[in-house]
Chains A and B, each alone.
Chain A
């Protein structure tokens, strides 16, 4: 159990491509950090650097208080769960879990105790004699975790371990992994491209894009105050809508998509008077409201999900996704009145996509 720290970590390849740019990250002891981002953002590389499976171009990595930068994977006291589980096919479950301890010359009775204890925690007691090919995907995943748990490492590393499971199993395993991590109290770093996994599992999130950290913070903070348009669009499903906007009236009003104007909270954005910017509105923040509607918009498509209804409306020339609670009886061609709470608007600078906060009155 220990904290993990990355200082100025950079990974550059000989052909000039830079996978990670001077990453600074601190993961508190016992915390569960999720690194999330689109394919190619560098999240797997980050994880593998912590593991020692790749070499860094610059920077330092500390696990506990040890500088592990130059240490081999075996010496870093970490354990990893791979995307394809990487179970040793020719060994049974018991041997798969015992392998790491055997290499460290742990005494046999100790190995046996720890393997059986871990198997019990994971519900694998009856499968210790089986080989990986005789197990289901979920069971293999658990053996992979068991292999990591049994070593009581300073930190767990997870490389998209749920990607190969079907949707239902994924949701189930999500909870199990989180429960286990909490129960064991081991620091964890978890990499995924799935924002739902990130939101539900992480104590802290890091959103990565093209080798840079876009934002670090708790899940709700990242959800309600995305630091950039990218984070806003990446986190949350269905994804945030982006519309063109312009500041008017001395900074107090926002004209959205040339369709309606809305009064900004507080003192608005006086410095942005007259400027164009990007407006982000989450689908779930639209309300169908006959009374104080901001606009009446034509419906293009209705997707009834039962608990919610997704509606695509035409905002000027753009299609916007609206998520309404419950089953609503509308059909395409209808015009529906929509409003949005100004406090739920996310405003982003047009050029650099960073968040603009209204001045508090």
Chain B
């Protein structure tokens, strides 16, 4: 379009640069803090340039952790988070694929009821049922275990809805052709539906991995043994040290480690994850 508003373009860039700065600055500060020595935090305000203690700090947290946080090596917590996140992502996808398949491609009594049952889980995030859910998990002996960390979070509705919505758009002719070729339900699922759903599965995996990794309340409730702490919840213990000042350089090193995997996933798979987000909310 013919437009003579250079100021508008300049303004737009200025706003975007400012926005990008505000969104990146805290990350930069965290990184800088993670490379300082303990002493440099006596400086007011803290320095905005990286210090030289990168290796020292990171190896300290990775191998020893913080005493206040149960002295669990951060490596262990990262592992716990990884296992939990993958179990949640894979579990959710697997279960939802099966449920969506059943709901879309089968007619059976209570089909509608079951659909609504699944739907209502949308309205029951962990935060509204913490005590009783803890009670159930405890009585099943699932505290302080990977199973306890992940299984209760697996059955939520969003993934099921996504797959259901997607399956509804798959042309009828494919099923008809498959049946003519003698394929039963399992065959059809494995050889036709699954390959078709690949992109959706990948996009969903990205989102669910991040969701699983970033879980806070649930791991907090379900783990009393520091060996099962996940990294995102574990950080809280490092920061809330009653009357002492937190050891910022170690805390921030842990923070950087904690946010690295999801951030790498988001940036590396931007297209995939954006597509997944938009699909879910449709």
In-complex A–B contact (CB below 8 Å): yes
Docked pose: A72 CA to B4 CA in angstroms = 8
Number of interface residues of A (CB under 8 A): 8
Interface residues on B, range: under 10
- Interface membership of A55, Cβ < 8 A: yes
CB-nearest residue of chain A to B4:
A72
CB-nearest residue of chain A to B1:
A53
Q: Mark A67-85, 1 if CB is under 8 A from B, else 0.
A: 0001111000000000000
Q: Which chain A residues in 61-107 approach chain B with CB under 8 Å?
A: 70-73
Q: Which chain B residues in 1-29 approach chain A with CB under 8 Å?
A: 1-4
Docked pose: A54 CA to B3 CA in angstroms = 10
A52 near B4: Cβ-Cβ < 8 Å:
no
CB-nearest residue of chain A to B2:
A52
The DSSP consensus for interface residues of chain B is loop
CB-nearest residue of chain A to B5:
A72
Docked pose: A71 CA to B2 CA in angstroms = 7
A54 near B4: Cβ-Cβ < 8 Å:
no
Docked pose: A54 CA to B2 CA in angstroms = 6
Contacts of B4 in A (CB 8 A): 70, 72
Docked pose: A71 CA to B1 CA in angstroms = 10
Contacts of B3 in A (CB 8 A): 72
Contacts of A52 in B (CB 8 A): 1-2
Docked pose: A72 CA to B3 CA in angstroms = 6
Q: Which of B1, B2, B3, B4 has the most CB of A within 10 A?
A: B2
Q: How far is the CB of B206 from chain A (nearest CB, A)?
A: 34
Docked pose: A103 CA to B69 CA in angstroms = 64
Docked pose: A73 CA to B5 CA in angstroms = 13
Q: Which chain B residues in 237-280 approach chain A with CB under 8 Å?
A: none
Docked pose: A228 CA to B101 CA in angstroms = 62
Docked pose: A70 CA to B2 CA in angstroms = 7
Docked pose: A267 CA to B4 CA in angstroms = 60
Contacts of A73 in B (CB 8 A): 1-2
Q: How far is the CB of B209 from chain A (nearest CB, A)?
A: 38
CB-nearest residue of chain B to A48:
B1
Docked pose: A72 CA to B5 CA in angstroms = 10
Docked pose: A74 CA to B25 CA in angstroms = 41
Docked pose: A193 CA to B2 CA in angstroms = 26
CB-nearest residue of chain A to B3:
A72
Docked pose: A265 CA to B11 CA in angstroms = 70
Q: Mark A25-55, 1 if CB is under 8 A from B, else 0.
A: 0000000000000000000000000001111
Docked pose: A327 CA to B1 CA in angstroms = 54
Docked pose: A140 CA to B2 CA in angstroms = 27
Q: How far is the CB of A269 from chain B (nearest CB, A)?
A: 49
CB-nearest residue of chain B to A53:
B1
Q: How far is the CB of B8 from chain A (nearest CB, A)?
A: 12
Contacts of B1 in A (CB 8 A): 52-55, 72-73
Q: Mark B155-193, 1 if CB is under 8 A from A, else 0.
A: 000000000000000000000000000000000000000
Docked pose: A70 CA to B3 CA in angstroms = 8
Q: How far is the CB of B268 from chain A (nearest CB, A)?
A: 30
Docked pose: A189 CA to B1 CA in angstroms = 19
Contacts of B2 in A (CB 8 A): 52-55, 70-73
Docked pose: A327 CA to B44 CA in angstroms = 100
Q: How far is the CB of B152 from chain A (nearest CB, A)?
A: 44
Q: How far is the CB of A280 from chain B (nearest CB, A)?
A: 41
Docked pose: A283 CA to B84 CA in angstroms = 76
Docked pose: A53 CA to B3 CA in angstroms = 9
Docked pose: A197 CA to B2 CA in angstroms = 30
CB-nearest residue of chain B to A49:
B2
Docked pose: A52 CA to B1 CA in angstroms = 6
Docked pose: A73 CA to B1 CA in angstroms = 8
Docked pose: A70 CA to B1 CA in angstroms = 11
Docked pose: A70 CA to B4 CA in angstroms = 9
Q: How far is the CB of B6 from chain A (nearest CB, A)?
A: 13
Contacts of A71 in B (CB 8 A): 2
Docked pose: A73 CA to B3 CA in angstroms = 8
Q: How far is the CB of B270 from chain A (nearest CB, A)?
A: 26
Contacts of A54 in B (CB 8 A): 1-2
Q: Mark A120-149, 1 if CB is under 8 A from B, else 0.
A: 000000000000000000000000000000
CB-nearest residue of chain B to A76:
B2
Q: Mark A263-297, 1 if CB is under 8 A from B, else 0.
A: 00000000000000000000000000000000000
Q: How far is the CB of B5 from chain A (nearest CB, A)?
A: 9
Q: How far is the CB of B80 from chain A (nearest CB, A)?
A: 51
CB-nearest residue of chain B to A56:
B2
Q: How far is the CB of B111 from chain A (nearest CB, A)?
A: 34
Contacts of A55 in B (CB 8 A): 1-2
Docked pose: A52 CA to B3 CA in angstroms = 9
Docked pose: A137 CA to B101 CA in angstroms = 40
Q: How far is the CB of A155 from chain B (nearest CB, A)?
A: 16
Contacts of A53 in B (CB 8 A): 1-2
Q: How far is the CB of B2 from chain A (nearest CB, A)?
A: 4
Q: How far is the CB of A341 from chain B (nearest CB, A)?
A: 51
B interface residues, Cβ below 8 angstroms from A: 1-4
6 pairs, CB–CB < 8 Å, chain A vs chain B: A52-B1, A52-B2, A70-B4, A72-B1, A72-B2, A73-B2
A70-B4, A72-B3, A72-B4 are known; give 13 further A-B pairs, CB within 8 A: A52-B1, A52-B2, A53-B1, A53-B2, A54-B1, A54-B2, A55-B1, A70-B2, A71-B2, A72-B1, A72-B2, A73-B1, A73-B2
Nearest first, the 6 A-B pairs at minimum CB distance are A52-B2, A72-B2, A53-B1, A55-B2, A72-B3, A73-B1
